Chain A
């Protein structure tokens, strides 16, 4: 596949990025696809590996070498088919996935990886442009209904998949529109919201119903939901923030990053003429010195927003040590995905990152407003083995502090408590094979796993849908698709194949069963 040895001659050419100086003046997508010729050449760099580590690195198991080659050959339509075979929302992942596939690309060992994500996006965009992506409603309806709580990537994926299988799906969303953090966390600079609306419209056309502004667990109550549906899927994400436990946390202008991002996204929606509620307590970075605590993508998104608002300075404090020049810390050698990248769009736009820095105190003024962040240098590669560097303490002036150090687990009060499902020791909904302790109640995505990537959430949704489908139909012989698509992880597959083998009479119930490989 591809062009033999093309990777030697063709260098990596990623997204065309707009000039940071120019793009900070708007909220439009900051990058673009190169022309078709370049895209095809980039697809040709794929080496058609004997072991495509990218395919393994992708939580969805995307058939990356296959569609890289199809793009190289200009067969966009077939490429879209292959892409959709494993990924229901390729435009989402094409835009915002941190691309563990590229970290696992064999070319990343000693060269620059194939632009897998860019090609994925190009395929998806081509599909939309050409009108190839059209509603495909199921031919038959099963007559069974499923309620999905949460319209983030996991909820959307589980809904889309179950609808394809003929079940009536209703998605309940607390906020005013679909997408969860896709809509309210991710800035338009990365993911313009009409992209979500377009996909959701397609799902609606295929028969999925969406109910917005509905706080499941309150109204309707959990019991009502149970009564209404044959199965219920909890896809509420992991939205309980991890907090910064330092003196001064209570000061004014110290906020969770996600609160800020919700506001910014709603503000942009309004700017673009989409209705959105106004904030009760506006948070603004305009003219202020922003310090973001936490070095992840959420923090970066805060910085990019703050720059667009006109912040006086934007600074990020990251506890993790500085990356080596090749971007590969010792703890995450190839093919593992590194937790940080050398640069990001927000840093390009003027954000500054301080590595190996631990916040020890927030200091406020007499009005109780934050004024500075006191921190020190630390060494160590994980939060468990941090060692502070003696005498390294310093202060960083700040008018606004945003805490972006992640989430602990899903919200328990409300739906989860009412449904009475068991939790695991981290506080996530316990559902090892997507089925919770309560019959007919399933969970997937961050609610089940804890916070993870969008691509993982989609994969979760797809896998969960199959389990729900089995529950609803009792149909054997479905695991084959999981096998084909590689959509299931080990233990689940064992479980499914065992059931299948028992149904088929290949093993007697209770007999030892040697699980097949993935």
Chain B
């Protein structure tokens, strides 16, 4: 189904999942019905495509409904357990169908079992949507009887397992014979009913599900939200054993490793059948289906389902001191057997006898459960999906990160608190086995490093392509500071495939990153889930457990220093056999020699393994006058894939000893393509040189310098893997989380198998040629040779090409200072200068560095008159400026952009930093209000004052990463806008903590719609493979607008590796988006914007032709106002006053709105000229006309020859006249919101400020309750809102997600019941209280009352929760006062203000990244200190003022919720007060002290003289004034 740039491999799902089970008692139809009800109440988590009646998928897994089948089937069925049912989705075509049926029957017979017969499953086609009907399969069941000879005939224990295995073999054999055969389930224990349905249609569609004879003790249900809606019945969940909510990020690696394991798989129960099962993983399966296949294999192979789940999704065990030792041992041992399947996941699974669920190690998906007194268990993605009387509830809980929740229907046992894990861990003496056999690198005998000083350093540096810049910008700082250096602005250098500077092969690989469908991780603040540990050795048969399985060489991290590599290489052969492969080739053989060398290396590696070698060292140490090095990444990937194909890969580990790697990205790619460890020896030798030359800090020893480099690379690697949401290097190894840009398909297919490479490019010949060029530079050697300058990070003459260079910058600046060519100022000169600029950019800069430079416009034979083309003043309305925060930018620069964009009728973007309320009243108001992960300054008032709300999911310069505003840029004004403290640095988390999946995004869009129902909701994405499918998901999640940014976008601060190596050009991402949206008929309802190094009208026209309606400009407008690409935004020293808060430098700002206006008008005029030449009159007609683009064959760059833009320029096969641009909006979603009733009823309050008291019931389907109401308050009363408690609402029931979102001042909610995730999101001054309902009998303080990510980004107000909260309570809170009785992991993460009182225990990693506010934790057990992340905080005494505050908050908690805990604390105040731990961020304390010393000066902006001319409008007032209602 792949076409153009769209490839179904990159589809993603997320969803609602639930199960219901009865621990005791007989099967019943009631359980089935409960399952159906649960899934119906999760409807909002699913999605529909362009056809609203067609769902992405819904399904249910049941125990075998024996009574039903006996009742409906004519044939005699054997006893339950002795027959199995194949649920088949067969093609409509009768001929093919009977072929497949015959195949299945034949296979049953061949495997010695008996065919009973076929049954037509009764379905009601009319219940499905039109698109689903169009591709509906024939759904038939094949009944299979167990052979008489099979063990267990007489009910022998385990007999059914043998039958299950046979059924599995039958399915696998048939599937391999016919790839189009879909068997949804084939088991004697369970059956799956599923389809391309909405959750509401499921039971209507399948008559069986309504039949009272359909009885079960468990029902596992799933409602799917896919980014795509290509017809697929198969992709609905549950699969054979699992229903999955989440994503396996490491899938590619897991699949490769499984494939590599196949040759060593021996399984006694399967015996000779094993061979029939291969390949284990069918090609092209989704991540969930692949996971299901492997889990099923492990379970049928003899492990319990919980054991298998623990192997595949291990807990984060390395850094958890609270984990029981036997569990650590279990995980350590099993790490030698299998790499983790890493990614956010809530996985519910069942083998028909037990049902369970687990969460990923970081707890990134929700799961809430209830056990009734009657022994029914309900687990679901959210609370409240089934109506259960409070009095019946025994206990409520939630899934915990990396922990199992197991219900055993045979024994009636429920295990929720690691009992299951401990049971499994006790099976074998794993710890003893592990300790006995594992080899630690540190324990190996020391060896001196190999120093063949025959070749001088300089020559080798040249041969490997080192530059002066590598030493100065990367290596030096790493050796001095142990961190990767930071940079700023964007990446405007040539793509590797267009570069004549012999870029390293690494540079062709772009890091992939998480966006929307899975979250990136913060490897610093959440390092407890991260692990750099790596191991090499020979892996053994997966189905066995022996002590020898632990025989692995374990290293704490994957970068080996030179002497460490020697330890490994020269290890005693009785411990490990190692072999070094020479990856150099004789220069005399010329370029062709490289291919021969690769073949030789692969073959030699294979032979070595057959000899018993288990560590292969790929080495280019032999480089010299006569030998050139194969690019180390090529050698590594080639050997890795060769061995995978040979089936021997797991018998040896790969270690790379190369002079080439010198950047974090280099090491990451090597690991990503199979290296377990890397020894970048030349990097270390270069460090030694820097040391010897005194270029490092005076007293640093070589030892220290090298250790710092290792630390820096380790940190950088964690950053790289975490941006994809991967936690462990072990699972990153071989996971190929890259997209190749500019490599030939054959090369990629052979050596980088499975990597996306969509535009073709260079092959082995060019890589060899460039290697020889580098080599030729080094030999014959010349002692005085200098290294090349580099010129990547800073422009240099003779360095890498930059789009922004002295010529383009000065020409642009000269042009805009002379008017806009439209009669303003000295226009003629402006046009001349602009034309020079545009010519330079279009003909040189763009051609030499970007893909669009390889394209040509197909001009019309007869151009139309310029006068007929849409005027420039209309075109500029499609322009917006990029999200550059106030904070990153100076107020002067930020306001200049806003004023310019407003005067043009275009839009400026606040960026992530809030905006002064005062600006909403004049032309300094930004039309686009950005909502990013830090939620800085995101209040209801901010949101109400937007024309567009942009959810920044990713940023071109650093996709998958959060931001930082260094403390020195946080002055009083910035701090006020961001609700933070002056001088304290601010951190934006890498992910939005309310978007871990696509259905979360849908929820956030819903939440934002409630905040401002008139604003367009936009989602900003960054180009990478699969961005089109994500964009489709965004459209389905109801957004109005999507921005596709290129990899080259700018930043105020980012690690260099991210600026350079993450993301891909927007040309590909935009085209993929357009093609995917068109194919799914979604393009008509969403606007598309392109963004990333837009500089000229030609850029705009090409973006429009590839599918953009709108265009974002960031760097260019800054250049117009005076930016000269200093790239010091992160240092606060911008000499032109743009990216600085230093008042002295801000005075130097010379930009004027006119500069930006002139520039954008000149761009628009260029656009018009091109439109005339194309013969197109309006932009609307231009959008999506990819047919007007062609490859410019006049460009014959010797490297670019292999580039093939056909996929980029292709047009999907859709109906003639299908709209290529947005012609309508998304479906309305707010019509049924509960808030409308509240608004009506609150009219007296809204209109006259009168007090209103209301009561309402609610259910989990009522989402974001309070959002619309708060929006109304802000709209009518501004930021100050209403007087406290003006609108009081009492609710009862289970509240849906985002309860109390944006709650405005004067609104007070009380909920009796419970609430789900995101409660109190963005609270802006209201009051929230949640308590158990009347009649509950459980202990409130032990029960979960609110979900995960509560009070995210809240800025002010108060919140009280009588019970426990989930993970990330009060994340990014900047002002709310909250009381809660216990919480999960990562509490108060990134908090910058407010107070949090915890009257109970916390999870781990409390206060990570907390830079402001105060937390008080009642630590009666003394467990808290170990769970608190002390990096930024201290524990302090509670002073007298604080005691009053604390006591007041607890008293209010007691009063509002009736909390017994609060009562107890208050009554024993004197004795319990000392048990409170006060958590105080250090920076915050220092800043408060400084502020106190300065006195409470007016917190307003110090406007320097010479700022922009806004003097007639009032400056920011000292405190926010209530906005005049009539003005709002």
Asked whether, in the complex, the Cβ of B1196 is within 8 Å of the Cβ of A107, the reply is: no
Q: Which residues of B contact A333 (CB under 8 A)?
A: 810, 813-814, 817
Asked whether, in the complex, the Cβ of A52 is within 8 Å of the Cβ of B794, the reply is yes
Which residues of A lie under 8 Å from residue B848 when comparing CB positions? 514, 516-517
User: How would residues 1134 to 1156 of chain B score, 1 for a CB under 8 Å from any chain A CB and 0 otherwise?
Assistant: 01100000101100101000000
Q: Are A518 and B810 in contact (CB under 8 A)?
A: no
Asked whether B1135 lies within 8 Å of A107 as measured between CB atoms, the reply is yes
Kindly list chain A residues whose C-beta atoms are within 8 Å of the C-beta of B1150: 109-110
Nearest chain B CB to A349 CB, angstrom units: 34
| Complex CA–CA separation, A507 to B773 (angstroms) | 14
Complex interface: stretch among A3-11, A12-20, A146-154, A167-175: A3-11
List chain B residues, Cβ under 8 A from A514. Answer: 847-848, 1195-1198, 1200
Q: Contact between B1135 and A106 (Cβ–Cβ < 8 Å)?
A: yes
Are the C-beta atoms of B794 and A49 separated by less than 8 Å? yes
Q: Which residues of B contact A516 (CB under 8 A)?
A: 499-501, 801, 848
Q: Does A512 contact B (CB under 8 A)?
A: yes
Chain A binder among B886-894, B917-925, B1120-1128: B1120-1128
User: Which residues on A sit within 8 Å (CB–CB) of B418?
Assistant: none
Chain B 775-814 per-residue mask, 1 if CB under 8 angstroms from chain A, else 0:
0110000000010110001111111011011100110011
Alpha-carbon gap, A485 to B789, bound state (A): 8
A506 within 8 A of B: yes
Inside 8 A of B1124's CB, which chain A residues have their CB?
A: 49-51, 53, 106, 109
B769 lies within 8 A of chain A by Cβ? yes
Closest chain-A Cβ to B697's Cβ sits at a distance in Å of 12
Residue of B nearest to A511 (CB): B1196
A497 contacts B1125, CB within 8 Å?
A: no
Return chain A residues, CB-CB under 8 Å to B813: 333
Please indicate the chain A residues that have their CB under 8 angstroms from the CB of B928 in the complex: none
Complex Cα distance, B1237 from A88, in Å, reads 83
- 9-residue interface stretch from A246-254, A257-265, A476-484: A476-484
Chain A residues with Cβ below 8 Å from B776 are 477
Within 8 A of B (CB), among A249-289: none
Residues of B876-931 at the interface with A, using a CB-CB cut-off of 8 Å, are: none
Q: Is the CB of A518 within 8 A of B797?
A: yes
Report B-chain residues with C-beta under 8 Å of the C-beta of A501. 1198
* A61 at interface, CB cutoff 8 A: yes
Interchain CB contact under 8 A, B795 and A50: yes
**Known A-B contacts A4-B1133, A109-B1135; A52 and B796 likewise in contact (beta carbons under 8 Å):** yes
- Say yes or no: B801 contacts A518, CB within 8 Å: yes
Q: B794 and A48: CB pair below 8 A?
A: yes
Chain A hits for B814, CB < 8 A: 333
B487 nearest CB neighbor, chain A only: A50
State which residues 459-518 of A face B: CB under 8 Å.
Answer: 477, 480, 482-487, 497, 501, 504, 506-507, 511-514, 516-518
- Option from B468, B693, B801, B1127 in Cβ contact (under 8 Å) with A50: B1127
Is B844 an interface position by the 8 A CB rule? yes
Residue B489 at the A interface, CB < 8 A? yes
Q: Does B479 contact A (CB under 8 A)?
A: no
Beta-carbon contacts under 8 Å, A132-175 to B = none
A334 in the interface (beta carbon within 8 A): yes
Interface string of A407-426 (1 = CB under 8 A from B): 00000000000000000000
- Confirm or deny: B1194 has a beta carbon within 8 angstroms of a beta carbon on chain A: yes
Q: A8-B1142, A483-B798 are in contact. Are A50 and B1128 (CB under 8 A)?
A: yes
Measured in the bound complex, the distance between the Cα atoms of B259 and A275 in whole Å is 89
A516 to B499, CA, bound (A): 7
Q: Closest approach, in angstroms, between the C-beta of A508 and any C-beta of chain B?
A: 10
Interchain CB contact under 8 A, B1133 and A56: no
Which one, A4, A50, A336, contacts B810 given CB within 8 A?
A336
Are A484 and B789 in touch, CB under 8 angstroms? yes
User: Considering the chains assembled together, what is the distance between the CA atoms of A483 and B499 in angstroms?
Assistant: 13
Within the assembled complex, what's the spacing in Å between the Cα atoms of A309 and B795? 49
Task: List residues of chain A with CB within 8 A of the CB of B694.
Answer: 75
Using known A-B contacts A47-B1133, A512-B1196, A513-B1196, determine if residue A484 contacts B798 with beta carbons closer than 8 Å. Answer: yes
Instruction: Tell whether B1170 is near chain A: CB-to-CB under 8 Å.
Output: no
Task: Looking at the assembled complex, report how far the CB atom of B499 sits from the nearest CB atom of chain A, in whole angstroms.
Answer: 8
**CB atoms of B1127 and A110 under 8 A apart:** no
CB distance from A142 to the nearest CB of B (A): 15
Option from A57, A335, A487, A504 in Cβ contact (under 8 Å) with B773: A504
CA–CA, A485 to B797, complex, Å? Answer: 7
Q: Which residues of B contact A315 (CB under 8 A)?
A: none
Q: Are A512 and B500 in contact (CB under 8 A)?
A: no
Q: A111-B1148, A516-B500 are contacts. A51–B817 as well, Cβ < 8 Å?
A: no
Does A55 touch B at the CB level, under 8 Å? yes
Say yes or no for B1131: interface residue by CB 8 A criterion. yes
Complex Cα distance, B814 from A65, in Å, reads 25
The contact string, 1 if C-beta is below 8 Å from chain A, for chain B 756-778, is 00000000000001001100110
User: How many whole Å from A437's CB to the nearest CB in chain B?
Assistant: 29
Residue among A487, A511, A516 facing the most chain B CB atoms (10 A cut-off): A516
Complex CA distance for A222 and B848, rounded to whole angstroms: 45
User: Within 8 Å of chain A (Cβ to Cβ): is B932?
Assistant: no
Bound-state Cα–Cα, A338 to B480, Å: 42
The reply to whether B489 and A50 contact each other, CB–CB distance below 8 Å, is yes
| Interface check B520, CB cutoff 8 A | no
Of the candidates A104, A109, A477, the one whose C-beta lies within 8 Å of that of B1122 is A109
Tell me, rounded to whole Å, the shortest Cβ–Cβ distance linking A350 to chain B: 36
The chain A residue with its CB closest to the CB of B813 is A333
Q: Is B494 an interface residue (CB 8 A)?
A: yes
A-chain residues with CB within 8 Å of residue B789 when the two chains form the complex: 63, 484, 486
CA–CA, A104 and B468, complex, Å? 23
Closest-CB distance, B869 to chain A (whole angstroms): 32
**A85 is an interface residue with CB less than 8 A from chain B:** yes
For A110, the chain B residues whose CB sits under 8 A away are 1135-1136, 1148, 1150
Are A486 and B798 in touch, CB under 8 angstroms? Answer: yes
CB of B140 to closest CB in A, whole Å: 60
CB distance from A512 to the nearest CB of B (A): 4
Query: Are B1198's CB and A51's CB within 8 A?
Result: no
B1137 closest partner in A (C-beta)? A110
Q: Which residues of B contact A506 (CB under 8 A)?
A: 769, 1198
B844 contacts across to A, CB distance below 8 A: 517
Residues on B with C-beta less than 8 A from A104 are 806
Cα-based distance from A518 to B845 in the complex (angstroms): 11
Shortest Cβ distance from A484 into chain B, in angstroms?
Answer: 5
Contact residues in B for A47 (Cβ distance below 8 Å): 1126, 1128, 1133, 1135
Q: Enumerate chain B residues within 8 angstroms of A53, measured Cβ to Cβ.
A: 806, 810, 1124
Contacts of A106 in B (CB 8 A): 1124, 1126, 1135-1136
A56 to B494, CA, bound (A): 19
Residues of A within 8 A of B786 (CB): 85, 484
- Residues on A with C-beta less than 8 A from B693 are 78
Residues from chain B with a CB closer than 8 A to the CB of A85 are 786
A57 surroundings in chain B (CB, below 8 A): 806
Bound Cα distance from A18 to B34, whole angstroms? 98
Residue pair B1126, A50 in contact (C-beta under 8 Å): yes
- Which of B693, B789, B798, B1128 has the most chain A CB atoms closer than 10 A to its own CB? B798
B794 neighbours in A (Cβ, 8 Å): 48-52, 65
Q: Which B residues lie within 8 Å of A8 (CB)?
A: 1133, 1142, 1144-1145
Q: If the complex has contacts A8-B1142, A517-B494, are A482 and B798 also in contact, measured as CB distance less than 8 A? A: yes
Considering the complex, give the chain B residue whose CB is closest to the CB of A85. B786
Q: List 12 A-B contacts (CB under 8 A).
A: A5-B1142, A50-B1125, A53-B1124, A78-B693, A110-B1135, A333-B817, A334-B810, A477-B777, A480-B777, A511-B1198, A514-B1200, A516-B499
Top 5 A-B pairs, shortest CB-CB distance: A486-B797, A50-B1127, A516-B500, A517-B801, A486-B798
Excluding A65-B794, A336-B810, 6 further A-B contacts by CB distance (< 8 Å) are A8-B1145, A49-B1124, A50-B1128, A63-B789, A516-B801, A518-B798
List residues of chain A with CB under 8 Å of any chain B CB.
4-5, 7-8, 47-53, 55-57, 61, 63, 65-66, 75, 78, 85, 104, 106-107, 109-111, 333-336, 477, 480, 482-487, 497, 501, 504, 506-507, 511-514, 516-518
